[in-house]
């Protein structure tokens, strides 16, 4: 089982719990049902735990450079220090939405367990609204819109940032990188055009 399996499965289970919590809290707010409110509380706590597991799975994938996950391959590299690898969790859209989903789930849990006891009627209604927001964010991170655990189908690169793996292997062989082997000049690497391909700008040799 990979980090993508753990994270993706946890987010999908959290979405189901968020939808159940939405229904339970809305029913509790309308009918003042204590059992429905209790179900919403446990749904909030379980969803928060699952989303936290997904965030930790992404952080572990970044720290171990699991380039089979597209988010890791595009926002990390083998040379990246551990600290910067960890904070790459919010380096792009998918990771940022995952982070804010974790924060929102923590707020939902706080309102479910603390707010509904101090302000039962108001907080229970607010809890239903927050569950709806949480379900929306979870829907984003389990669909192609912002799924952080999308895998790379045709093999994972050894390092990220486009041509870095090809460049590393080319340097190991002592050759030029693909970017500098084209028809022009690479960045900082001059490439001479064969004399046969040049124009006829040579002066004719005079005959004495």
Distances (CA, A) of 96 to 15, 80, 83: 18, 19, 17
Q: What is the mean pLDDT of residues 168-194?
A: 42
CB atoms within 10 A of CB 19: 18
What per-residue confidence (pLDDT) applies to 1?
86
User: How many residues can be counted in the chain?
Assistant: 208
List the one residue out of 98, 132, 140, 109 whose CA is nearest residue 43.
Answer: 109
**pTM score over 0.75:** no
In which residue are the tokens 């987010």 written? Answer: 11
- 65-78 pLDDT, tens digit each: 999 999 999 999 99
- Alpha-carbon torsion (186, 190, 196, 200), positive or negative: positive
Report the range out of 49-53, 160-164, 166-170, 190-194 with the highest average pLDDT: 49-53
Q: How far apart are CA 137 and CA 148, in angstroms?
A: 12
When comparing pLDDT for 56 and 31, which is higher?
A: 56
Higher pLDDT, 90 or 32: 90
């Amino acid at each position: 089982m990979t980090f993508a399996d753990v994270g993706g499965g946890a987010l999908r289970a959290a979405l189901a719990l968020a939808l159940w919590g939405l229904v339970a809290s809305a029913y509790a707010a309308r009918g003042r049902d204590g059992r429905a409110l209790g179900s919403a509380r446990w749904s909030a706590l379980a969803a928060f735990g699952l989303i936290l597991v997904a965030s930790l799975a992404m952080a572990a994938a970044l720290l171990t450079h699991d380039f089979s996950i597209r988010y890791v391959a595009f926002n990390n590299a083998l040379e990246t220090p551990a600290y910067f690898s960890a904070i790459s969790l919010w380096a792009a859209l998918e990771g940022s939405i995952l982070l804010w989903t974790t924060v929102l789930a923590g707020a939902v849990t706080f309102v479910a367990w603390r707010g509904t006891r101090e302000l039962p009627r108001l907080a229970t209604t607010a809890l239903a609204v927050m569950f709806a927001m949480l379900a929306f964010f979870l829907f984003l991170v389990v669909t192609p819109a912002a799924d952080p655990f999308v895998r790379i189908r045709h093999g994972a690169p050894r390092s990220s940032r486009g041509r870095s793996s090809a460049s590393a292997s080319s340097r190991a062989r002592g050759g030029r990188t693909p970017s500098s082997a084209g028809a022009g000049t690479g960045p900082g690497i001059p490439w001479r055009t064969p004399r046969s391909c040049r124009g006829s700008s040579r002066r004719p040799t005079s005959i004495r």
